[in-house]
Amino acid sequence: MSGLVEDKVALITGAGSGIGRGSALVFAREGAKVAVADLNGDLGAETVRLIHEAGGTAELIGCDVADDGQVAAMVARVLELWGRLDCAHNNAGITTKGAPLHELSLAEWERTIAVNLSGIFYCMRHEIPVMLKQGGGAIVNTSSGAGLVAAKGLAHYCASKHGILGLTKTAAQELARTGVRVNAVCPGVVETPTLLAHMAKSPEIAKGIQASTARGVMGRPDEIGEAVVWLCSDRASYVNGEAMLVDGGTVAR
CB of 60 within 8 A of CB of 44? yes
* Residue 122 designated active-site: no
Between the alpha carbon of residue 115 and those of residues 61, 71, 80, 83, 92, the distances in Å are 17, 12, 25, 27, 7
Task: Say how far residue 66 (Cα) sits from the centre of its chain.
Answer: 14
In whole angstroms, what is the distance from residue 135 CA to residue 129 CA?
Answer: 10
In whole angstroms, what is the distance from residue 113 CA to residue 154 CA?
Answer: 12
DSSP letter assigned to residue 176:
T
Which residues have a Cβ under 8 Å from the Cβ of 164 and sit 6 or more positions away? 116, 117, 120, 141, 142, 143, 147, 184
The catalytically annotated residue of 157, 185, 226, 231 is 157
In whole angstroms, what is the distance from residue 216 CA to residue 205 CA?
Answer: 14
List residues with catalytic annotation: 157
